[in-house]
Every structure is written in structure tokens, then in C-alpha cells.
Amino acid sequence: MVSGKKPQKEEWGLVLDFLPYGSPEDNRPVYQKKPLVQAVGESYFVIMELMLKDNIVPQTQDRVYIGEGDRNVIDHVKRRITYDELTHGSQMELPFILEKIIIENESKYIDFFNDAYPITNRLHMLELLPGIGKKLMWAIIDEHKKGKFLNFNNLVERVKGLHTPEKLIVHRIIDELMDENIKYRLFTTPAKSRHHK
């Protein structure tokens, strides 16, 4: 965790939206614009615009390689963007894609519940998840003392009142993406500091 995270490089991204006529903010004539995609990184949830290789038309939720070396779909990462710069389609798609990433990497995210610790005397990491207050936090801590949580099902079975932990994580990730100045980051890294107009 938490506050001092540096921007990280992503290896893989998932397509949020395909923009055949480029960015809506691009005021150049249509013939000068190139198609691009908005995508979210699989590891650090970096949101970005990607330029495509010629004649590629990706589908929403496609997993595309953006790391170093040969890329078959993406020509290059154009820039990192903020939540506010996502299209309406991307914003609608984001929760579903985040949930997919979390479920496919369940062991990584169950470890969040196993390894969570107090940040200050009054605040525990678990409380940063929307919907987890003191009562639920103590239920998770007490249950964890009996043994590690094996997966989300095991967590939900053992902690009464906790449902769909993957959705709690999704809500927290979106909160972190929407607020560049959020105090604590559990799952994301900040965009490089940008001067606001």
C-alpha cells in the first residue's frame, strides 16, 4: 500500500472502448484522426489511450499486449488518461472489466483480505473498501485469526454480512481512479503529476 506509490508500467490492457475516429477532444479534421482504444491496465488499473496497428478493430473486453517487444494489435501507448477523460461507453464498461480482472486473479485479491493491516490508530485498510465499517472489519479480522481465507467463497461463508467482496474492490478501484488526490491507494498508482488549468 499506500500513499507513496509510483506510476507503474502495464504489460496487458483490456479494451474499454474503440474510437474509430480518434479522441472526441481531438479537433482536427476526421481524415487526420487515427482510430484508438481506451483501455485499463490489468495489474495497476492504469487507464490509457492506445494507438492501433492498421486495420485492427478490437472488441470491448479484448485483452491486448502493451508491454515491451512485439505487439500484434497495439502500435503504441498514446498517453495515460484520467477517469474524466473516459468516454461514456468506457465508464459504463469499466466496472464489468474490473470485476473480470479481479475474479481471474482471485488469489491476488483474497490476499488483500488476508494481509490487510491498520494504517493509523483509527483506520484499518479494510475500512477503505466501500461498505466495510468497524463491525464488518472486526468480523473479518476475528475470522482471519482462525486461518487464512482461501478464496472469495470461503471469505463470504466465514464472515456474516459480507457479500460479493469482488464488487467492494471494484468500487474502491473506481473511487481511486476518479479522485487523483485520494489519500490512500490500495490498488492503483497515481497518474504522473499534472498541472491543472
Cβ-based neighbours of 176, under 8 Å, separated by 6 or more = 45, 182, 185, 186, 187, 188
Tell me what pLDDT residue 6 has: 58
Digit-coded pLDDT (tens) for 68-105: 887 888 999 999 999 999 999 999 999 999 999 999 99
For 60, list phi and psi in degrees, rounded to 5.
Answer: -55, 140
Tell me what pLDDT residue 23 has: 82
| pTM of the full structure | 0.90
Tell me what pLDDT residue 192 has: 64
- 102-178 folds as DNA polymerase; domain 1 (1.10.150)
Give 83-91's long-range contacts (Cβ < 8 A, gap of 24+).
83/47, 83/174, 83/177, 83/178, 84/178, 85/25, 85/47, 86/16, 86/17, 86/38, 86/47, 87/16, 87/17, 87/19, 87/24, 87/38, 89/16, 89/17, 89/60, 90/16, 90/17, 90/38, 90/47
Tell me how far apart the alpha carbons of residues 61 and 100 are, in angstroms, rounded to a whole number.
9
Q: Which three cell numbers stand for residue 78?
A: 498514446
Tell me what pLDDT residue 30 has: 80
* Max Cα–Cα distance, the chain, nearest Å: 63
Give domain limits for the chain: 12-93, 102-178
For the chain, residues with pLDDT lower than 70 are 1-8, 192-197
Tell me what pLDDT residue 36 has: 93
- 12-93 folds as OB fold (Dihydrolipoamide Acetyltransferase, E2P) (2.40.50)
